[in-house]
Amino acid sequence: MKVFKFGGASVKDAAAVRNVADIISLFKGDKIGVVVSAMGKTTNALELIVDALYHREKSTFDSLVEERKSFHIDIISSLFKDVNHPIYAEITTEFELLSKMYDARIPDNYNFEYDQIVSLGEVISTKIVNAFLNECNISSRYADARLLIRTNNKYREGEVDWNKTEELFKLNFIPVFSECDVQVIQGFIGHTSEGLTSTLGREGSDYTAGIMAFCCDAESVTIWKDVPGMLNADPKWFDNTIKLNRISFHEAIELSYYGASVIHPKTLKPLQNKNIPLYVKSFIEPHASGTVIQSSTSEDHLVPSFIFKMNQVLFSFTPKDFSFIVEQNLSDIFSRLAKADAKINLMQNSALNFSILVDEEKVSIEEIQRLFEDTYNVRFNQGLELVTVRHYDQETLDRVTTDKEIILQQKTRETARLIVKQR
Q: Which is nearer to ligand ASP, 115 or 203 (CB)?
A: 203
Q: Between 5 and 69, name the residue whose CB sits nearer to ligand ASP.
A: 5
Give which of ligand ASP, Mg ion, none residue 33 binds (C-beta under 5 to 8 Å, depending on kind): none
Instruction: Kindly indicate which of the ranges 2-10, 282-290, 395-403, 408-416 contains the residues binding Mg ion, using the contact rule CB under 5 A.
Output: 2-10
Residues 6+ apart with CB under 8 A from 295: 248, 249, 272, 275
Compute the least distance from the CB of residue 283 to ligand ASP, in Å. 14
Given Mg ion, ligand ASP, none, residue 95, with its beta carbon under 5 to 8 Å by kind, binds none
Cβ nearer to ligand ASP, comparing 9 with 136: 9
Number of neighbouring beta carbons within 10 Å of residue 398? 9
Cβ of residue 36: shortest distance to Mg ion, in angstroms?
Answer: 10
Task: Tell the smallest beta-carbon distance from residue 122 to ligand ASP (Å).
Answer: 6
Among 2, 4, 6, 8, binds Mg ion (CB under 5 A): 8
Return the number of the residue (37 or 165) whose C-beta is nearest Mg ion: 37
Considering the rule CB under 5 A, would residue 126 count as an interface residue with Mg ion?
no
DSSP secondary structure string, 5-34?
Answer: EE-GGGGSSHHHHHHHHHHHHTTTT--EEE
Q: Which residue's CB comes closest to ligand ASP?
A: 205
**One symbol per residue from 23 to 52: x for binding Mg ion (CB under 5 A), - otherwise; what is it?**
--------------x---------------
**Toward Mg ion, which CB reaches closer, 13 or 167?**
13
Q: How many CA atoms lie within 13 A of 194 on its CB side?
A: 8
- Residue 79: name the closest of 8, 144, 21 by CA: 21
* Residue 126 or 388 having the CB closest to ligand ASP: 126
Strand partners, 388: 307, 417
Buried b (16+ CB within 10 A) or exposed e, 302-332: ebbbbbbbeebbbbbbbbeeeeebeeebeee
DSSP string covering 122-142, please? HHHHHHHHHHHHHHTT--EEE
User: Least distance (Å) from ligand ASP to the CB of residue 38?
Assistant: 4
The Cα 152–Cα 190 span in angstroms is: 9
Residues pairing with 381 in the sheet:
314
CB 278 within 8 A of CB 267: yes
First to last CA, the chain: 53
Q: Could you tell me the smallest distance in angstroms from the CB atom of residue 185 to ligand ASP?
A: 13
- Considering only residues 166-225, where is the footprint of ligand ASP by CB under 6 A? 187-188, 202-205
Binding to ligand ASP by CB under 6 A, coded x per residue (else -) over 109-148, reads: ------------x---------------------------
Cβ–Cβ under 8 Å, residues 232 and 244: yes
H or E segment and range at residue 399: helix 394-401
Site string for ligand ASP, 25-64 (x = CB under 6 A): ------------xx----x---------------------
Max CA distance (Å), the chain? 79
Interface residues with Mg ion (CB under 5 A) are 8, 37
Interface residues with ligand ASP (CB under 6 A) are 7-8, 37-38, 43, 121, 187-188, 202-205
